[in-house]
Structure 1
Amino acid sequence: MRDAVAAVFREEYGRAVSILLRTTGDLGLAEDAVQEAFAVAAERWPADGLPEQPGAWIITTARRRAVDRFRREAARGPKEAEASLLRAGGTPEAGSDDDVFGDDRLKLLFACCHPALGMPARVALALRVLGGLTTAQIAAAFLVAEPTMGQRISRAKAKIRDAGIPFRIPGAAELPERLAGVLAVVYLIYNEGYSAGLGDPAERTGLCAEALRLARTMVLLAPEEPEAEGLLALILFSESRRAARSAAGGILVPLAEQDRGAWDREFMTEAQVLVRRCLVRGRLGPYQLQAAIQAVHSGARRPEETDWRRIVRLYGLLAEVAPGPVVELNRAVAVAEVEGPLAALAIVDGLDLGGYHVFHAVRADLLRRLGRADDAAQEYRSALRLAPGAGERALLSLRLAQLGQAKD
C-alpha cells in the first residue's frame, strides 16, 4: 500500500495542486492541503483499501483540509470560504485558453515560470509544485546544496503570493518570455522521472508520461517555436529506447549495448520528422541540437556505424549555444570515439563536476581504456557512491567487478 500511495503521488500531485490553486488562489495553501491529503491517505488506505478513484479522493480530502484552514485563518466567514473551495471551478468562456487547452497543470507551470522570477527559481518552483519533487531531488538536479534550494523555492513562492501572479496561460505576446523556463521545467521533469526509473520502470511512468504530455501540448501552444519541437523530439527519442534500457534485475543497459530491434520505431520516426522540421528554420537552440545528436544515434543500425564525427560537431555547436560543464562532459565521450580516450580525458579533467556521478563514471571508463585500472576503480567507486538510481548503481557495480576480473 505504501507503493500504491507513492504511485498516486507521482501521478496526481501536480494535478491536485493545480486544481486546489484554481479554487483557493493561494499556492502555499494548495500545496499544504494536498500534502496533508496524502498524509491522511498513508494512514487510512492500508486499513480501508485503495479508493476506486484515488486522485479524486486526494482532491476531495485536500479541499476539506483547505476549508478547515480557511475557517481557522481567513477573515471571511466559513460559509463563503466553503462555497469558494468546493465549487468545481466554473465553465470556461468560449474562446478562452481553457477552451482549447483545458489544462490546470499547464497553467500552474506558466504561473511558476512568470518572468518576475529568476530562471533558476522558476524551474525549481515548478519542479516542486508540479512534479512533487523533494527539495533534495531538485537540489541534486541543479547540483547545489539542499538548504540553498530550499531558500530559493521559499522566496519564489512568496514572490508569487505577494505579486499576485495570475494562474493562467499567457497570451501570445507574453509567451516568448516564459517559454524558455517552461521548456526547462518539462525537460527536468522528464529527466527526474527517467533517473528515478532506472532499475524500476514503474517509478518513472508518472513523471515521464507527464513530461511527454506537456511537451506535446507546448508544440500545440507554440507551433512556430522550434525549441518546443526540439524538446518533444528529444523526449521521444529517449522514450523510444525505454524497452531496451534495462536488463534482468533492472540493471541499466548503455546505449552501445542495447538491442536496437527493441527500440520503438513509431516514437523514433516521429522524433526524426520533428528534428528535420525544426532544424530547417535555422534558429538553433539546445533542445534541437540535443535531439539532432540523438537522431544520429538512432540512424545507426549498429553501434559501430555511429557517425561520431558528426556528433562531435553537434556538441561543438551545443557548447556555443548553451555552454556548460555537462555539455563538455558529453562532448568528451564523443571525442573519445574520434580522437581516443587520452584526448577525452584532457577535456574531462578540466571540468568541475566532482559531485556528479556521471563525471566519475565517464572518467572511470576513459581510465580503464587507458589501462589505468586502479585509478579507474577509484572513479567507479566514487560514481557508485553518488549514483541516484538502482539501475545505474547495478551497472557501476558490474563495471567495477569486471575491472577486478580483468586485473586478475
Structure 2
Amino acid sequence: MLASLVGFLGDFDRAEEAAQEAFALAAQRWPEAGTPSNPGAWLTTTARNRAIDRIRRERTLAEKIHLLPATEAVMDEFDETVIKDERLELIFTCCHPALALDGQVALTLRALGGLQTADIARAFLVSEETMKRRLTRAKTKIKATGIPFAVPDAHRLPERLDAVLAVIYLIYNEGYSGRIDLGAEAISLGRVLAELMPDEPDVHGLLALMMIHHARRQARFSNDGEDLVLLEDQDRSLWDLDQISAGRAVLDRAIGLGGRGAYVVQAAIASLQTREQIDWPQVAELYRRLAELTGSLVVELNRAVAVAQAGDPAKALQAVDRLDLDGYLYFHSTRGELLRRLGRDAEARAAYLRALELAATTPERRFLTGRLEQL
C-alpha cells in the first residue's frame, strides 16, 4: 500500500500521512459496516482520495495535477512492473543511488519494516538522535533534488542491489531477535529478489543465510519465548531440517555462481553451525575472511567467539578487548562469558551487569540474569 502511495504521490511524507488516515478511518468504519471484500483496494483508494483532498486544501493541485487519476484506482488495476512484489518495489524505490547507503537502508526500514527510529538505530549501532538526523537528511535530499519515486529499469537494478540486500538483511535481523513474523517476511522478499535476479550470487547467499538461521527459530527460545537458548543448548529436534537442506541447496547455487561475498560467507558459517559436529576452527577462519570483506567489529567479535569455542578463551578475550564496542550488548555478554570460563568471576559479573543495562528484550534480560546468578 505504501509503495503504491509513494509512487502515486511522489512524496514520502504525504504517503505515510495518507496511509495513516486511511487506517484510522478503517478502524472507525469497519467494526460497524463490516470489512470490505477487498480491504487492500479500499485502503489504497481511501488513502489516495485523502491525499488528493489534502493537496486541494493546500492549493497545490496545479502542481500535482499530473499525479491524479481520471478515475478511482483499485488494487487490481495497478500497472505491472518488472518487480511483482510491491514490498520489494518499495525497497528499490527508496534505495536510490543518489542517497547515501546508510540513508537508503534506514529510510526503507522505516517505511517497509514498520521499524521505529530506535529499532533502526540499534541495528546500525548508533544513537536514536543520530538516526533521526540521517532519516531527515535522506528525506530532505529527496525533496531538494527531485529524486523520482519510480521502479528502475531491469538493467539498472544491480546498481541498487547492495542497499536492497542490506535492507532485507536488517529486516531479517530484527525478526531473528524474536519478531519471527518479520523474519519470515524478509525470507519472502529474498525469494522474490532471487527470482528477479537469478544470476546474482549474493542474492542467493543472503536467502540461504536467512533460511538456515530461520530453520532454528523454534529452538532459540523456550518457556513460551521468555528464555533465550544458545546454539550449543538448542534442542535439534525442533530444527526444520527440510529448510536447512533447502538453504544449503541455495548456498550451493550461490557458490556455483562464483559467490565469494559477505552474504555467501555468512551462509557458509550458518551451514557449518548446523552440522552434528561443528568445526569451530573452520568457522573462525570463515569469520576471518568475513572480517576482511566487511571491516566490521561485530564480525571480529563473532570470530573471537569461534576461537573460544575452538578451545582458546584466553586468546578470544585478548581479541575482544581490542574492540571498541562499548554500546553493544553482545560485546559485554561475550566478555562476561569469556571471563567466566577463565575463572575471573568478579570481572565477569561487571561485564554481565553492563550487558544487562543494554538489554532490550525480556529473553535477553532473563538470560543475563541467569548468568549472573550462576556466578
- Which residue number in structure 2 is paired with residue 103 of structure 1? 85
Distance (whole Å) between structure 1 residues aligned to residue 283 and residue 104 of structure 2? 31
Which amino acid is the alignment partner of residue 378 of structure 1? A
Q: What is the aligned-residue identity percentage?
A: 48
Matched, 1:211 2:186: yes
- Which residue number in structure 2 is paired with residue 76 of structure 1? 61
- Which residue number in structure 2 is paired with residue 62 of structure 1? 47
- Which residue number in structure 1 is paired with residue 6 of structure 2? 21
Unaligned runs of 5+ in 2: none
Higher relative contact order (CA 8 A, sep 6+): 1
Which amino acid is the alignment partner of residue 241 of structure 2? R
SS in 2 for 1:132: coil
Which amino acid is the alignment partner of residue 233 of structure 1? A
Q: Identify the match of residue 128 of structure 1 among 110, 126, 129.
A: 110
- Which residue number in structure 2 is paired with residue 193 of structure 1? 175
Distance (whole Å) between structure 1 residues aligned to residue 353 and residue 122 of structure 2? 19
Which amino acid is the alignment partner of residue 93 of structure 2? A
- Which residue number in structure 2 is paired with residue 261 of structure 1? 237
- Which residue number in structure 2 is paired with residue 180 of structure 1? 162
Given that 1:186 and 1:214 are in contact with CA atoms closer than 8 Å, whether structure 2 keeps it comes out as: yes
SS in 1 for 2:326: coil
Distance (whole Å) between structure 2 residues aligned to residue 32 and residue 54 of structure 1? 18
- Which residue number in structure 2 is paired with residue 13 of structure 1? none
Q: Deviations over 1:51-92 (max 9, x none)?
A: 577656654553343233112114227996875694237856
CA deviation after TM superposition for structure 1 residue 47, in Å: 7.3
- Which residue number in structure 1 is paired with residue 281 of structure 2? 309
Written as runs of structure 1 = structure 2, the 5 A alignment for 1:218-297 is 218-250=193-225, 251-297=227-273
Given that 1:315 and 1:327 are in contact with CA atoms closer than 8 Å, whether structure 2 keeps it comes out as: yes
Unaligned runs of 5+ in 1: 1-15, 198-202, 404-408
Distance (whole Å) between structure 1 residues aligned to residue 63 and residue 70 of structure 2? 10
Which amino acid is the alignment partner of residue 317 of structure 1? R
Which amino acid is the alignment partner of residue 224 of structure 1? D
Which amino acid is the alignment partner of residue 379 of structure 1? A
Q: Deviations over 1:5-35 (max 9, x none)?
A: xxxxxxxxxxx21122233222220012223
- Which residue number in structure 2 is paired with residue 33 of structure 1? 18
Change (3 A) 1:79 1:346: closer
Distance (whole Å) between structure 1 residues aligned to residue 124 and residue 372 of structure 2? 28
Change (3 A) 1:89 1:391: same
Matched, 1:112 2:94: yes
CA deviation after TM superposition for structure 1 residue 241, in Å: 0.6
- Which residue number in structure 2 is paired with residue 345 of structure 1? 317
- Which residue number in structure 2 is paired with residue 323 of structure 1? 295
Given that 1:354 and 1:360 are in contact with CA atoms closer than 8 Å, whether structure 2 keeps it comes out as: yes
Change (3 A) 1:48 1:351: farther
Distance (whole Å) between structure 2 residues aligned to residue 140 and residue 49 of structure 1? 41
Change (3 A) 1:156 1:289: same
Q: Identify the match of residue 140 of structure 2 among 152, 158, 176.
A: 158
TM-score, structure 1 normalization: 0.84
Given that 1:21 and 1:30 are in contact with CA atoms closer than 8 Å, whether structure 2 keeps it comes out as: yes
Structure 1 stretches of 4+ with a deviation exceeding 6 A read 77-82
CA deviation after TM superposition for structure 1 residue 312, in Å: 0.9
Give RMSD over aligned pairs: 2.7
Matched, 1:169 2:151: yes
Change (3 A) 1:221 1:387: same
TM-score, structure 2 normalization: 0.90
CA deviation after TM superposition for structure 1 residue 246, in Å: 1.0
Q: Identify the match of residue 144 of structure 1 among 115, 119, 126.
A: 126
Q: How many residues align?
A: 372
CA deviation after TM superposition for structure 1 residue 296, in Å: 0.5
Which amino acid is the alignment partner of residue 34 of structure 1? A
Distance (whole Å) between structure 2 residues aligned to residue 285 and residue 324 of structure 1? 14
